[in-house]
Structure 1
Amino acid sequence: MFIRSDIPKLKQDLTIQTNLLSHDLTLKTRWGVFSPRSIDDGTLLLMKYLKVGEADKCLDLGCGYGPIGLAVAKSCPKGEVHMVDKDFIAVELSNTNAKLNHIDNTKAYLSDAFLSVNKDNYFDQIISNVPAKVGREQLSIILYDAFDALKPGGRITFVTINGLRHFIKDNFKSVFGNYKKLKQGQKYTISQAVKE
Structure 2
Amino acid sequence: MRKLIFGMNVTLDGYVAAAGGDIGWGGPSDELFQWWLGQEQASELTLYGRKLWETMSSYWPTGDQQPDATQAEIGFARNWRDTPKVVFSSTIDKVDWNTRLVTDDAVAEITRLKAEDGGPMGIGGATLAGAAMRSGLIDEYALATCPVLVGGGTPFFTVLDNWVNLNLVETRTFPGGVVLTRYETRR
TM-score by length of 1: 0.41
